[in-house]
Amino acid sequence: MHADPVTSPPASAVALSERREGVLILTLNRPEALNAFNRALFDAVREGLEAAAADPQVGCVLVTGSGRAFTAGSDISDDAGPEPEPGGKDPYDAFIECVETFPKPLVAAVNGLAVGIGTTMLGHCELVLAGASARFRMPFTSLGLVPEAGSTSTIPSLMGRQPAVHALLTSSWIPAEEAARTGLVWQLTSDEELLAEALAVCEQIAAQPLESLMSTKRLLLDARLPAARAARDREEPEFRRLTERPAHLEALAAFRERRPPDFRSLLG
């Protein structure tokens, strides 16, 4: 297998891109932070997806992570990066809008941890493969928040209502085998074979006529997107409201002080 002649970003870039046989591989590349999303990474992945959407040589995009994690979610310890321009979109908002409307097949290869947006974004992927050591978590209630990214619609659609409700209400970890059993993951592989297996699937997809792929994706979006967007419209104001509430502030303080949160003190 050979790589198409494309210009790759430097190894220091927060997202790496490589094209192989009509597949664009986007690799989250903040391994020292378990690929947690800061503003720069939200922007870099969005820009990579936008470029892939416009490239007639790309029929499928594969997203994975470098190091031992897919992504640890949003980086609440790092505010680095430029603020959005006045009237401009927040990097997270622009990212999730790009992901949820991406016009070509989007496949995720989940290596290691997938926390927060690392799990909720999977509801907008066509296929999810995971290594045997992968673990998933949507920790929103443990942070005093509510789910994001339309996941109150997309995750129950993938996992079934009760497994999704349990995961969303308890903020509990989902092992790879459970994720595969419930439908959050389509195919489970060994850690060593994950990228090769995912790439083979993506190449099989990308070998089909692009017009047919994009028309099929559009029909899939027509069925999924209205409910996902309606869910996100409900989630976002509640999420913002709860960021100012005592439970979330206590969760942040506990994170910074490296201690368990004490929500009991908020009762009464």
Q: Note the pLDDT tens digit of each residue in 55-98.
A: 999 999 999 999 999 999 999 775 544 455 555 689 999 999 99
Distance CA 43, CA 82 (A): 10
User: What's the rounded mean pLDDT across residues 187-205?
Assistant: 98
Q: Note the pLDDT tens digit of each residue in 136-185.
A: 999 999 999 999 999 999 999 999 999 999 999 999 999 999 999 999 99
- Tell me the two tokens of residue 41: 């990474």
Confidence of residue 8 (pLDDT cuts 50, 70, 90): very low
The closest alpha carbon to 49, from 63, 69, 37, belongs to 63
Number of H helices, E strands in the chain: 9, 10
Sheet strands side by side (includes 60-65): 15-20, 23-28, 60-65, 106-110, 127-131, 187-189
Distance CA 15, CA 87 (A): 26
Q: Give first-to-last CA distance, the chain, whole Å.
A: 63
Distance CA 258, CA 139 (A): 16
Distance CA 63, CA 241 (A): 31
The closest alpha carbon to 251, from 239, 266, 240, 263, belongs to 263
What pLDDT score was predicted for residue 246?
94
What pLDDT score was predicted for residue 89?
80
Distance CA 111, CA 190 (A): 10
Q: What share of the chain is helix, strand, coil (3-state, %, to 5)?
A: 45, 15, 35
Pairing verdict, β 23-28 and 60-65: parallel
- State whether residue 113 is helix, strand or coil: strand
User: What's the rounded mean pLDDT across residues 174-202?
Assistant: 98
- For the domain covering 15-194+206-242, report its CATH number: 3.90.226.10
Is the pLDDT at 35 greater than 80? The verdict is: yes
Confidence of residue 264 (pLDDT cuts 50, 70, 90): confident
Predicted TM-score (pTM) above 0.95:
no
What pLDDT score was predicted for residue 3?
38
Q: Note the pLDDT tens digit of each residue in 106-116.
A: 999 999 999 99
What pLDDT score was predicted for residue 6?
39
The burial of 162, by beta-carbon neighbours within 10 Å (0-12 exposed, 13-18 middle, 19 or more buried), is given as exposed
Confidence of residue 268 (pLDDT cuts 50, 70, 90): low
- State whether residue 117 is helix, strand or coil: helix
Task: Report yes or no: 124 and 105 within 8 Å, Cβ to Cβ.
Answer: no
What pLDDT score was predicted for residue 83?
54
